[in-house]
């Protein structure tokens, strides 16, 4: 899925670092899991992974990719059944397609009318299966993860949901198509993995001692709930319907706003997370243009672990550029570095 800070392309770099530091697979915690790309790569390399994130959309992806070991029986049949549904009017198509509510047109064009109605029909069918007891909670989350990813492929955005495009883009004209999301099978009888929705220090305290803590927090002022409110809505559902506001139809998100995105609070967030961590090794991903400076992170890591074991690795990569940035927006640099800070703690 298109996601700010998605580490899919950096996975070889991260796994190489794990190997280079001689960290043998055991139990890992990834409390800023986002799309669960790193958590599932670690699980595929033999780790038991406890993933977490404040967002419900991430929770769906974590359950689908990390917590469950294989797709439940009947997954393909459920996908077929959802794919065969006719679209229906509902909360999502009313507020996020041009079909809108007659007389109260809001002009939000996040999806084509047809795709919006199909998302409504699929979301309500998953909720009905769940409330009738036809599917287990994890099966429901797997289906929601599948729907979130399918909706993302046809979203009329340039990659994030902070705005929509004024005309339907080619991807948004295509009919929504559900594609299997494959859970990651565990290797060599590793311990069970898990998913969590909540604040990073809460998860870190809850899981207790681990071998590896992988941190990948937001690094700038962009609050994820405002950039991904539609995946979040699909994950949470709309019963009762949330109050929505503004041009983009934001949903209430005060509880999800992160101190990592606030210049005055980010240093406190870093020390809270490190204090809550009981681990042998910490790997910390951060961008060199983030709110925290490289030396602030270095001092916090040296203080938390064995100071001499601290190492910084970096890898330059092309800047993420959404299409809406346009030619008028200029950057001082086109390449930025992704830093991986390492410290051994015990």
Distance CA 13, CA 84 (A): 41
5 binds ligand SAM, rule: CB under 6 A: yes
120 binds ligand SAM, rule: CB under 6 A: no
One residue of 40, 58, 169, 193 binding ligand SAM per CB under 6 A: 58
- Pick 113 or 223: Cβ nearer ligand SAM: 223
In the complex, minimum distance from the CB of residue 174 to ligand SAM, in angstroms, rounded to a whole number: 24
Q: Binding to ligand SAM (CB under 6 A): which residues in 181-240?
A: 199-200, 216-218, 224
Q: Which residues are paired to 250 by β-bridges?
A: 245
161 binds ligand SAM, rule: CB under 6 A: no
Distance CA 56, CA 34 (A): 10
In the complex, minimum distance from the CB of residue 233 to ligand SAM, in angstroms, rounded to a whole number: 15
- Pick 113 or 220: Cβ nearer ligand SAM: 220
How many residues belong to the site for ligand SAM (CB under 6 A)?
Answer: 23
x/- mask, ligand SAM, residues 35-54, rule CB under 6 A, reads: x-xx--------------xx
Output Rg (C-alpha) for the chain, integer angstroms.
Answer: 21
In the complex, minimum distance from the CB of residue 37 to ligand SAM, in angstroms, rounded to a whole number: 4
- Pick 127 or 336: Cβ nearer ligand SAM: 336
- Pick 106 or 265: Cβ nearer ligand SAM: 265
- Pick 38 or 142: Cβ nearer ligand SAM: 38
258 binds ligand SAM, rule: CB under 6 A: yes
Task: Return contacts of 324-333, CB within 8 angstroms, 24+ apart.
Answer: 324/158, 324/163, 324/165
Strand ranges of the sheet holding 311-318, from the earlier edge strand across to the other edge: 48-51, 27-30, 210-215, 279-287, 335-344, 311-318
In the complex, minimum distance from the CB of residue 265 to ligand SAM, in angstroms, rounded to a whole number: 10
In the complex, minimum distance from the CB of residue 84 to ligand SAM, in angstroms, rounded to a whole number: 31
Task: Report whether 336 contacts 289 (CB < 8 A).
Answer: yes
In the complex, minimum distance from the CB of residue 223 to ligand SAM, in angstroms, rounded to a whole number: 8
Q: Which structure tokens are listed for 303?
A: 């203080």
157 binds ligand SAM, rule: CB under 6 A: no
Site residues (vs ligand SAM, CB under 6 A): 3, 5-7, 31-35, 37-38, 53-55, 58, 199-200, 216-218, 224, 258, 260
């Amino acid at each position: 899925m298109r996601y700010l800070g998605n580490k899919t392309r950096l996975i070889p770099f991260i796994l190489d670092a794990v190997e280079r530091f001689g960290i043998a697979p055991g139990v890992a915690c990834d409390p800023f899991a986002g799309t669960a790309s790193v958590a599932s790569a670690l699980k595929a390399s033999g780790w038991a992974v406890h993933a977490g994130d404040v967002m419900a959309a991430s929770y769906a992806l974590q359950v689908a990719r990390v917590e469950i070991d294989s797709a439940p029986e009947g997954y393909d049949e459920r996908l077929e059944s959802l794919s065969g549904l006719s679209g229906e009017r509902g909360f999502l198509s009313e507020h996020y397609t041009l079909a809108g509510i007659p007389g109260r047109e809001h002009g939000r064009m996040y999806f084509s009318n047809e795709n919006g109605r199909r998302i409504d029909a699929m979301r309500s069918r998953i909720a009905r299966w769940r409330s009738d007891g036809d599917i287990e909670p994890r099966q429901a989350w797997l289906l929601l993860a599948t729907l979130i990813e399918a909706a993302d492929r046809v979203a009329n955005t340039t990659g994030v949901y902070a705005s929509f495009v004024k005309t339907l883009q080619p991807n948004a004209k295509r009919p929504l198509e559900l594609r299997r999301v494959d859970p990651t099978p565990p290797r060599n009888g590793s311990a069970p993995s898990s998913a969590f929705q909540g604040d990073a220090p809460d998860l870190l305290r809850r899981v207790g001692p681990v071998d590896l803590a992988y941190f990948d927090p937001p690094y700038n002022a962009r609050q994820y709930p405002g950039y991904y409110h539609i995946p979040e809505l699909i994950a949470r559902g709309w019963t009762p319907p949330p109050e929505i506001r503004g041009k983009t139809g934001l949903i209430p998100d005060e509880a999800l706003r992160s101190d990592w995105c606030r210049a005055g609070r980010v240093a406190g967030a870093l020390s809270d997370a490190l204090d809550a961590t009981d681990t042998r090794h910490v790997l910390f991903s951060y961008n060199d243009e983030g709110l925290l400076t490289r030396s602030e992170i270095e001092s916090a890591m040296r203080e938390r672990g064995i100071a001499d074991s601290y190492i910084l690795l970096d890898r330059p990569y092309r800047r993420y550029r959404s299409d809406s940035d346009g030619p008028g927006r200029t950057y001082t640099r086109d390449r930025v570095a992704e830093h991986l800070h390492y410290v051994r703690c015990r």
